Amino acid sequence: MAELASFICQTPIAMINLIDRDKHHIKFKVGTNMNEMIKEDTFCQYISSGSQMMIIPNALKDQRFYDNPLVVNAPFIRFYAGMPLITQSGITIGSICVMGRVPKDLTSSQKQRMRVLCKRVVEMLELELSLVA
């Protein structure tokens, strides 16, 4: 699924994260070897409380991120788009995000495909949990 997000948005990095109080656990990824991140260092911390896609066309020009470790150090993120993974019962369990090293935006088609992909990821996670229970 991370590969599909990367393909849809034409970005070198994509991740599907599960969150807890302090960390984002990267469960599926492309373009990075990170396995987890401290919540304060993530872009996704800003989307976990909402249900909308967050797009940062240029992180250097955003007050929240211009000095973020992921922006000023490798992987030198400039573009970010992410959506929360929200269960049918309304609980935010993680996020799906894409990132790039050059400023950009997403087309309306890419945004729609990311919304659909986000729903499918949640459905797959919920199905897996129901099979384990």
Structure tokens, 131: 């099979």
Is 132's pLDDT higher than 70?
no
pLDDT tens digits, 9-42 = 999 999 999 988 888 899 999 999 989 888 777 7
pLDDT tens digits, 56-85 = 999 999 999 999 999 999 999 999 999 999
User: Does residue 36 contact residue 24 with C-beta atoms inside 8 Å?
Assistant: yes
Q: In this predicted model, which residue has the larger pLDDT, 23 or 105?
A: 105
pLDDT reported for residue 91:
86
Q: In this predicted model, which residue has the larger pLDDT, 130 or 22?
A: 22
pLDDT tens digits, 106-128 = 999 999 999 999 999 999 888 87
Q: What is the mean pLDDT of residues 36-53?
A: 76
Is 48's pLDDT higher than 90?
no
pTM of the prediction? 0.90
pLDDT reported for residue 118:
93
Write the secondary structure of the chain as one string of H (helix), E (strand) and C (coil). Answer: CHHHHHHHHCCCEEEEEEECCCEEEEEEEECCCCCEEEHHHCCHHHCCCCCCCEEECCHHHCCCCCCCHHHHCCCCCCEEEEEEEECCCCCEEEEEEEEECCCCCCCHHHHHHHHHHHHHHHHHHHHHHHHHC
Domain locations along the chain: 2-132
pLDDT reported for residue 49:
60
Domain covering 2-132, topology = Beta-Lactamase (3.30.450)
